[in-house]
Amino acid sequence: MSNMPSIDAILAEIARAAQDGQPEAAPAMIASRRRSGRLTSLLAPASEAAPGPGGGSVRERYLGEFLAGTDEQFLQSAYLAVLGRPIDPGARSSLLGALESRAATRVGVLEGLVQSDEARGRAVEIRGLDRARSFERAGRSRRFGRFLAPLLALIRLPGIVATLERRISGVDRQNRELRQDAMRCMAEVEAIATEIHDEIASLRAELDDAVGALKAGLEGAAQDAGERFARVGERLDRLDATVGAALDEANATRRKTLIEARALSELVDEAKARLPAVIAPERASAAVETLDEHALDDLYLAFENKFRGSREEISRRMGRYVPLFQELVGADAAHPVVDIGCGRGEWLSLLREKSIRGVGIDLNVTMVGEARAAGHTVVEGDAIAYLREQPSESLAAITGFHIVEHLPFRGLVRLLDEAHRTLRPGGVLLFETPNPECIVVGACNFYYDPTHQNPLPPELLRFLAEARGLSGTRIIRTDADLDLSRPESGFSPSEVVSWFQMPMDYAVFARKA
């Protein structure tokens, strides 16, 4: 390399050519130098390493490494090579703008990085950088710029060619990959199309078979339905005749019952007038009063059937209390549940289904008969008198559905006293009654039953239960109130319509401490 001219010699030659009036000779001379292989060594390394200022080795890089690629790639590689770190966002943005607007060159950026304070301790040398910077300065001069422009273009040419070759190679690779992907996609599409065609053919065959079977099934079903409709029609005709006969018989029985009731009433009146002369007055009076008390039992049962509801409807309403009794009472054989005014025995049936022992008591002999016919243990008589006969703390619970509104005030207080005495510790009391908070009940429906005494507002019944020694009282208006862990729903009317929206029945719940 000793015969290679220095940069100063090349610049001197270019200056002489310009002074001799042969500026067009400069490009030819540069081309000649390049063809001879001497110009290409301007940016080539002289050695791999050189001694540093402190005697250590200097990390050498070559200018040609930084001239290829995009400006973004150049900045990243330059910062890593010279400063040993990635470029920060602020410097990246400003330098990219300067390079794009040609306000700065890559050679100038490299020179600035090498001469920065941050790079001084790293001993990084970029071979060819000083000479390239000299060419750039000379190229900006009016005197030599047009002569050096071709030389600078030649210096950048290898990097540009390398960049183009990489881009072309990348495009070729992408094209090959795209062709391969397209061929794979076409093969997959053909395979999927074949599968879809086969599946459609299979589904069509299955659909044809299903349609045929459905037609056959529908024809058979239609024929069977016709026969069934004919049989149902015949049964309805027979049932209609049976119902008509039953209605006729029921009407006849009702007329007969009315006649017998009138006859019994006349008999009672006659007995009142004639019996005292035959037997002791007190015995005659008791016998007559007994007959008189039960004269309307059948009538009250008919009243219950019409206005209170069927067995199924009553059982459905009472059913909401069953889980509470399962939890608090359970199958306690030693302490039964006494249902006051048990009627037809709907509540006793619900208890029996959950293996809870129940005993009913009712004054109506007709209802007692129906409850006993259902297999229940039922006592005919007065509830208070029955409770007075029971030992203290002998009952698990006392219930009464639509009973307390039939009692006079003193009778209600006596019933609560006997309930407190006969309940075992922790025993349960539950009385359901019409809810006068519902204005329809308080103003009208309550008076359907002529044996009702007075409506009982919830807070009054709560007060009476607490005043007679019971605790844990709770007013159950809605199903949510059955959850004893939650507060009561309560009643705080904000407008008139609230009085029409309340439940028609409520229950007072209490326990013996």
- Could you report the per-residue pLDDT of 163-222, keeping only the tens digit for each? 566 668 778 888 888 888 888 888 888 899 898 988 899 888 988 888 888 888 888 887
Question: What is the per-residue pLDDT across 228-245, written as a single tens digit (0 to 9) for each?
Answer: 877 877 777 776 666 666
pLDDT at 9: 56
Question: Beta 505-511 vs 358-362: how paired, if at all?
Answer: unpaired
Helix and strand counts by DSSP (H, E) for the chain: 19, 10
Q: What structural domains and CATH numbers belong to the chain?
A: 7-169 (no CATH), 304-511 (3.40.50.150)
Compute the distance between CA of residue 376 and CA of residue 360 in angstroms, rounded to an integer: 8
Q: What distances in angstroms separate CA 64 from CA 49, 156, 279, one per listed residue?
A: 17, 8, 145
Q: Cβ–Cβ contacts within 10 Å for residue 140, how many? A: 10
- Asked if 344 and 365 touch (Cβ cutoff 8 Å), the reply is no
* Best-predicted range by mean pLDDT (57-66, 114-123, 132-141, 388-397): 388-397
Q: Give the pLDDT band of residue 305 (cuts 50, 70, 90).
A: low
pLDDT at 148: 57
Looking at residues 20-27, what average pLDDT do you find? 46
List the one residue out of 372, 306, 298 whose CA is nearest residue 342.
Answer: 372
**What type of residue sits at position 409?**
F
Q: Could you tell me the sign of the dihedral formed by the alpha carbons of 197, 203, 204, 206, in that order?
A: positive
Cβ burial, residue 184 (10 Å; 0-12/13-18/19+): exposed
Q: What is the DSSP letter of 21?
A: T
pLDDT at 398: 97
Q: What is the DSSP letter of 42?
A: G
Q: Could you tell me the sign of the dihedral formed by the alpha carbons of 215, 221, 224, 227, in that order?
A: negative
Whether 287 has a pLDDT exceeding 50, the answer reads no
Compute the distance between CA of residue 491 and CA of residue 504 in angstroms, rounded to an integer: 13
Whether 11 has a pLDDT exceeding 60, the answer reads no
Whether 30 has a pLDDT exceeding 50, the answer reads no
Q: Cβ–Cβ contacts within 10 Å for residue 33, how many? A: 19
The residue that leads in pLDDT, 304 or 176, is: 176
Whether the model clears a pTM of 0.75, i.e. scores above it, the answer is no
Q: What distances in angstroms separate CA 401 from CA 1, 77, 160, 508, one per listed residue?
A: 122, 94, 103, 11
Which positions ≥6 away from 459 have C-beta within 8 Å? Answer: 475
Question: What is the per-residue pLDDT across 195-210, written as a single tens digit (0 to 9) for each?
Answer: 898 889 988 898 888 8
Compute the distance between CA of residue 30 and CA of residue 13 in angstroms, rounded to an integer: 10
